[in-house]
Structure formats: structure tokens, C-alpha cells
């Protein structure tokens, strides 16, 4: 196992630039359920219903009815050793960018600066009528909560049925097509268009290294099996031995 980490550490150091693509799995150890985790939030609440733009438009109270489960806790979730390891790798000059599908803001909290949140973030909440911004968790009460102008509030996240913000998608494409190593961490790699980014990286000659508790991206060149909060600090420790 040690030598495997050593080889991958060399790959990261020697084949720069390196970019990471992360999914719900990296935040699992912060206590945020992934889509697939047993007994998790999304087993009780079908995201295709509770996080759908059509349902939101028809009846925003459905979406907001689970605010107590997730949004209210926004400030209480903290980054784990996986997020911190990526921020450290960036500060060492060995990770150019993090592309995340997560809306939990934990990469930002951990100190990652080169960051694209392609599905947006729960940090920002807007009035759909006047555009006034509110910041989680300081929101008006109510299900749904209303702005003082009477408009309904909506987090700046991409719901099912909505398209991704163009600048974010362009940044994700640019980062993926110009990196030479991509770390694919804690994503089931099925939700488009994020799922195609590792392929974009590979087509442009990057080596793809997957970190997951079970293999999800069959095209990866290397696979590090385990929890992100264990694997990533270990990889960073190996990298430190080389520089
Ligand atoms: P997913 O739930 O489909 O897949 C999670 C992946 O993480 C799985 O492959 C699983 O094996 C892996 N995993 C679980 N625990 C892990 C750990 N400790 N370390 C490493 N890997 C682990 O998530 P996805 O691929 O990100 O796609 C789901 C969509 O849902 C995304 O669009 C995302 O925006 C959204 N979502 C976000 C959050 C969040 O913001 N934290 C949480 C749930 C879902
Ligand atoms: Zn308003």
C-alpha cells in the first residue's frame, strides 16, 4: 500500500498541473449524507422531487419543508481532513483547482481558493423577485421563507431541471482539459455534466486517479480505495516526502 501511495505521489508531483473533481463522498465524513448513503436524507426525501425546479416553481414550500434537515445546519458543518488536505496541496502549489459538485461550501471553509462550485452553494440565498441576497443560516422564518418584498427565497444552487451556470461550466471544462493529473474524489460519476469531466481530462492526456470507498469511475488509471478523510492526508504526507 505504501508504495502505491508513493507512486501516485510521484505522479502528482511530476505531472502538474493537477486538478480535483469532488462529489458528495468527500463531505460524508463531515456528517452530510451522500445520495446513496443508507438511512440518509435522500432515502427519505427523493431529490428528484425535493430538489426539482419544477416542483420549486409550483410549490416552494416542498423544497423548504426540509430546510431544518440541511440548510439550517449550514453553519454547523465543518470541513474534514479530506477538504483540508486539498487546501494544503493547493498551498504547496501542487493543486491548481478544485471543481466540486457539492453545495455545502466546505471546500471554501477549508481554505481552497482555486474553486468552482458547479452546482452553486447554499451559502447564498436570493429573492427570486428582487434579487436581494440573504446568507444562510440568517434567514427569515417560514416555509417557504419570503423576502421583505414578498418574493420567495431560493438558494443559489442548481436544482434538477435547471441548467448549470455558464461561467462555472466553462471553468470546469477549461480546468479539466488542461490538467495533466485529475483526482476524482467521492463522486459516483453519474450526474451529468460533471460525470464527463474525467473523460475530458483523459482525452486531453491527463492521468486520472480515483479516491473512493468503492470504484465508481471504471476508466481511472489509478484507484485509491478508502475514505477521502484518510486517503487524502496520507497522499499529501507522501507528497511532502518528495519535495
Ligand atoms: P453520490 O451520492 O452520487 O456519490 C457519492 C460517492 O461518494 C459514491 O461513489 C460513494 O462511494 C463515495 N463515498 C461515500 N463516502 C465516501 C468517503 N468517506 N470517501 C470517499 N468517497 C466516499 O454523489 P455525487 O457523485 O456527488 O452526485 C450527487 C449529486 O448530489 C451532486 O450533484 C451533488 O451536488 C449533490 N449532493 C451534494 C451534497 C453536498 O453538497 N455535500 C450531498 C449530497 C448530494
Ligand atoms: Zn425581494
Measured from the Cα of 42, ligand 1's closest atom is 43
**Closest CA relative to residue 80, chosen from 39, 135, 31:** 31
Q: Which phi and psi angles does 126 have, rounded to 5°?
A: -120, 155
Positions of CATH 3.40.50.1220 in the chain = 1-30+79-119+164-243
Per-residue pLDDT of the chain (243 residues; tens, 9 = 90+): 458 999 999 999 999 999 999 999 999 999 888 877 776 777 888 888 888 999 999 999 999 988 777 666 677 899 999 999 999 999 999 999 999 999 999 999 999 999 999 999 988 899 999 999 998 778 899 999 999 999 999 999 999 999 999 999 999 999 999 999 999 999 998 888 889 999 999 999 999 999 999 999 888 999 999 999 999 999 999 999 999
Using an 8 Å Cβ cutoff, are 229 and 30 in contact? no
For CATH 3.30.1600.10, list the domain ranges present in the chain.
33-76+120-157
- What's phi and psi for 138, nearest 5 deg? -85, 85
Fold for 1-30+79-119+164-243, please state it. Answer: Rossmann fold (3.40.50)
How far are the Cα atoms of 51, 90, 213 from residue 231, in angstroms, in the given order? 31, 16, 10
207-212, strands of its sheet edge to edge? 115-117, 97-100, 18-22, 181-185, 207-212, 222-225
CA gap 142, 45 in Å, rounded: 20
Judged by its nearest atom, the ligand closest to the C-alpha of residue 126 is 2
106, 79 contact by CB (below 8 A): yes
CATH number for the domain whose boundaries are 33-76+120-157: 3.30.1600.10
Pocket of ligand 1 contains residue 186 by CB under 6 Å? yes
Predicted TM-score (pTM) of the model is 0.94
**Ligand 1 pocket mutation, candidates 34, 197, 228, criterion most atoms within 8 A of CB:** 34
Polymer length of the chain? 243
Amino acid at each position: 500500500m505504501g508504495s502505491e501511495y508513493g507512486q501516485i505521489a510521484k505522479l502528482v508531483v511530476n505531472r502538474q498541473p493537477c486538478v480535483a473533481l469532488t462529489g458528495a463522498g468527500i463531505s460524508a465524513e463531515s456528517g452530510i449524507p451522500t445520495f446513496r448513503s443508507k438511512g440518509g436524507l435522500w432515502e427519505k426525501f427523493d431529490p428528484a422531487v425535493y430538489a426539482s425546479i419544477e416542483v420549486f416553481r409550483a410549490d416552494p414550500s416542498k423544497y423548504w419543508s426540509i430546510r431544518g434537515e440541511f440548510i439550517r445546519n449550514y453553519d454547523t458543518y465543518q470541513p474534514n481532513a479530506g477538504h483540508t488536505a486539498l487546501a494544503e496541496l493547493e498551498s504547496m502549489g501542487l493543486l491548481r483547482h478544485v471543481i466540486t459538485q457539492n453545495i455545502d461550501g466546505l471546500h471554501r471553509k477549508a481554505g481552497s481558493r482555486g474553486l468552482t462550485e458547479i452546482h452553486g452553494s447554499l451559502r447564498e440565498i436570493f429573492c427570486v423577485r428582487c434579487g436581494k441576497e440573504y446568507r444562510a443560516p440568517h434567514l427569515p422564518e417560514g416555509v417557504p421563507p419570503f423576502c421583505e418584498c414578498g418574493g420567495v427565497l431560493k438558494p443559489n444552487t442548481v436544482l434538477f431541471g435547471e441548467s448549470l451556470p455558464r461561467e462555472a461550466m466553462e471553468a470546469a471544462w477549461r480546468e479539466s482539459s488542461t490538467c495533466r493529473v485529475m483526482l476524482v474524489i467521492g463522486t459516483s460519476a453519474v450526474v451529468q455534466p460533471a460525470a464527463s469531466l474525467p473523460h475530458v481530462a483523459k482525452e486531453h492526456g491527463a492521468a486520472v486517479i480515483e479516491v473512493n470507498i468503492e470504484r465508481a469511475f471504471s476508466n481511472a488509471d489509478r484507484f485509491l480505495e478508502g475514505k477521502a478523510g484518510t486517503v487524502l492526508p496520507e497522499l499529501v504526507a507522501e507528497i511532502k516526502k518528495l519535495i
